[in-house]
Structure 1
Amino acid sequence: MTSTPSDIGTRATVRRWSTDVVPAHERMAFYADALMSGLNSQMRLHLESPAPSQFHSTMEVAELESFAIIRQHGSAHRVYRKKQGAARGSNRTFYLIVSLDAPWAIVHRGQARLAPGDGVFTDSALPSDLEFTRDYEVANLRFSEAWLRQWLPSPDMLVGQHIRASKGWGRALTAFASQLSPQIVHQSPLPIATVIDHVGSLLALVAAEAGPPPARNTRGEIDLRQRIKDLIAQRCTEAALTAGELAATLGISVRTLHRTLTRFNESFGNLLIAARAQTALRMLESPLLRRLTTAEIGFRAGFRDQSHFTRTMRARYGATPTQIRRASSLTTTP
């Protein structure tokens, strides 16, 4: 099987498979092998197509230690894993699969028909049967069990869940996952660890929403949440700040940090961006900082990328950094 690896830093690689590189009569077998390698080398997968001679598909995979970002697109097909094939896999992995533009169906702890934009959470230890009846594009996130348990002490609670793009935290999770592609590992204005942490936070929020009502928060949890928020406010201007660094400063595990915030329907990523935006707002409105450009203010507030800074300020305050500064100048001019 042929793939094209390219190193990204020292901890990430991107691989690509395309049926365009093989003759039409070999494409089904080629892509079945590609799926086994790109998704999980120990999975026994079977592939069928309503038009084998016209079948085509492409897959890109960005490998990030315990996490992978996968993007797939191509023609109608069915891919399934039998019970005995699933049982042979020794490295248990989990997947969040979101179809971007096509309705689809899956059998995995029950049967579901999903609309474009919807997602489903699957477990490599269980049989599955997924079918697209027309051309498709899929965002697929793969998690190791160890990574996932930092966010979901019991991942089984989400397995087989139909995650709707029109409801609750599922709306945020599927929208965020849909934006992730292998290129994010070298194009993201945020540290990739922050992006991945945000996925974990949203998974935890979806799980909490689907489960029983949370118990009443204890005084200790309330105090810890406040300490986390205070430290985020103090260190938000550090562009490379991660949840792991914050947890280490507080003397707690990353899992405890995220679990605490999840109990309050909050996430590290959202709090960090909010703190940076608030810091930037104060700087933009300060007469003492008029000598700084808006780009310099964004950088000082912790934003690595000017366009991300502009989008964030517009989304939160309804105006670009330049507009905020201009409005502030008008109100402070004698």
Structure 2
Amino acid sequence: MHHDPTPHLSFAPHLRPFYPGDLRGYSTTLDALVYPGELSVQHSHPRMNLEACRLVGGGIAVSFDSTPMQVRHAAGQSGHDGAGEVLAMIAVDGQGTIEQAGRRLPFRKGDIVFRTTRLPSTCALDESGRLVQLRLPAGRFFGIYADLRDHFEPSLAQADSTLAESARQQLDRLFAVQAQPHPALAYFSEQSFVSLLAAIYCEAVAGAPQAGDAGAAKRHERDRWQRLASYVEANLCDPELSVEAIARELCISKRLVHRLFATQQTQYGAYLRERRLERAAEELANERLAQLSVTEIAFRNGFNDPSHFSRAFRDRFGTTPGGYRAARPLA
């Protein structure tokens, strides 16, 4: 069981430099607020601003601004029910890495990382930043879905997922509610936030292949690419098609969209341009579309500027759209 280091936790800011003589005090406090570990600093002039509050429905929230540091939790801590507790960490600023159960999860600003106190782990902050970590009883986090608790997987939700963006927007409001005199308001506000974090965890786990299964990882990536390519193909006519729109529609991050294009040795803009031009060429040679003008063909394929379409087409095929149509027998 954890022991709260202070009887009344609050988020009153307290920023001061700390030196090796202070390290033991900060380490002891983090042991109590998160779970026991070995704190080491990675900066010649380290400093830390540590704040915390107790959650009405159970658990603790910890916020700390810090210069580069690392906390190594060499042993897990199961708690009274043996299930451990869920640690949901939001990288408000900075970047680093969390490792647990053989998984290495590099995080950047805005990412959300999930791990458990039941297993050893390491958290490293590579540059000065701010991390907010919620330590939540597994029963509260997973609710009626005990099977998720029993098969917990360390995971990361990327910053530009829709749910992660919603969580960051709620973060500051959540802690402001702690000062409210009515406990029900604080409870229901934080419970909605906890439920949102649980949904983010489920989405992150559903999108990640099992560790060590290289074949599954390749199939998973191939399936993702096929889904993405199909969506792009179906929306080539939309001049407003963007990485943001694709990520939102497919419920993946913008970073993942770019990475999937990279697996095909291309980039989003180049791929979209090529597919639009190829389909325009097919339509120019299609007898059933002979009644359509070049401008209409351009609009049908996401080009809202006929002059730009003609230049791009000539660069790609060495002739104008009209010349291309005239030189080929209609199919």
| 2:106 pairs with 1:108 | no
Q: Would the alpha carbon gap of residues 113 and 87 (structure 1) be closer, same or farther in structure 2, given more than 3 Å must change?
A: same
The 3-state SS of whatever aligns with 2:25 is helix
State how far apart, in whole Å, the 2-side matches of 1:172 and 1:157 are: 26
The question of 1:137 aligning with 2:133 is answered no
The answer to whether the 8 Å contact 1:121/1:160 transfers is yes
How many Å separate the matches in 1 of 2:65 and 2:28? 16
Matching residue of 1:236: none
> Which residues of 2 match residues 26-105 of structure 1 at below 5 A?
26-39=21-34, 43-51=35-43, 54-63=45-54, 64-82=56-74, 85-87=75-77, 90=80, 92-105=84-97
Shift of residue 173 of structure 1? 2.9
Q: Distance in 1 between matches of 2:205 and 2:128?
A: 34
Q: Which TM-score applies when normalising by structure 2?
A: 0.52
The match for 2:163 among 160, 165, 169 is 169
Point out the more displaced range, 152-161 or 101-110. 152-161
Q: For 1:134-283, what aligned pairs fall within 5 Å after superposition?
A: 134-150=127-143, 152-153=145-146, 154-155=148-149, 159-177=153-171, 180-181=174-175, 183-187=176-180, 191-210=185-204
Q: Distance in 2 between matches of 1:62 and 1:119?
A: 19
What letter is aligned with 1:114? Answer: F
Q: Tell whether 2:10 aligns with 1:14.
A: yes
Contact 1:121 1:161 in 2 (8 A): yes
Question: For 1:19 and 1:211, how far apart are their aligned partners in 2?
Answer: 36
- Are 1:19 and 1:31, in contact at CA under 8 Å, matched by a contact in 2? no
| Preserved contact between residue 64 and residue 130 of structure 2 (Cα < 8 Å) | yes
Which of structure 1's runs of 4+ aligned residues deviate more than 4 A?
A: 2-5, 15-19, 87-91, 187-190, 210-213
Structure 2: state its 5+ residue gaps.
208-331
Alpha-carbon RMSD: 3.4
Deviation of the 1:195 alpha carbon: 1.1
User: Could you tell me how far 1:19 is from its partner in structure 2?
Assistant: 7.7
Q: Residue 24 in 1 paired to residue 19 in 2?
A: yes
The 2-side partners of 1:174 and 1:143 are apart by: 17
Unpaired stretches in structure 1, ≥5 consecutive residues: 7-12, 214-334
Contact 2:153–2:205 under 8 Å retained in 1: no
> Residues 120 and 162 of structure 1 are in contact (CA less than 8 Å); yes or no, is this contact kept in structure 2?
yes
Question: d(CA) in 1 for partners of 2:121 and 2:127?
Answer: 19
> Is the Cα contact below 8 Å between 1:58 and 1:74 reproduced in 2?
yes
Q: How big is each residue's C-alpha offset from its partner over 1:49-108, in whole Å with a ceiling of 9 and x where there is no partner?
A: 1236x22212222113512222111211011101xx215755621111011110111112
Comparing 118-127 with 142-151, greater Cα deviation is found at 142-151
Q: Cα 1:58–1:3, aligned 2, differ >3 Å: closer, same or farther?
A: farther
In structure 2, give the amino acid aligned to 1:120: V
Q: Which residue of 1 aligns with 2:118?
A: 125
Q: How does 1:299-314 map to 2 (within 5 A)?
A: none
Q: Give 1:226's aligned residue.
A: none
> Deviation of residue 35 (structure 1)?
0.2
Deviation per residue, 1:142-173 (Å, 9 max, x gap): 11123223264323556311011212423323
Count of matched residue pairs: 199
Render the CA deviation track for 1:210-259: whole Å, top value 9, x for unaligned. Answer: 4669xxxxxxxxxxxxxxxxxxxxxxxxxxxxxxxxxxxxxxxxxxxxxx
The residue type equivalent to 2:10 in the other structure is V
SS in 1 for 2:61: strand
* Alignment CA distance shift 1:60-1:24 (3 Å): same
Could you tell me how far 1:207 is from its partner in structure 2? 4.4
- Higher alpha-carbon Rg: 2
SS at match of 1:159: coil
Identity of aligned residues (%): 15
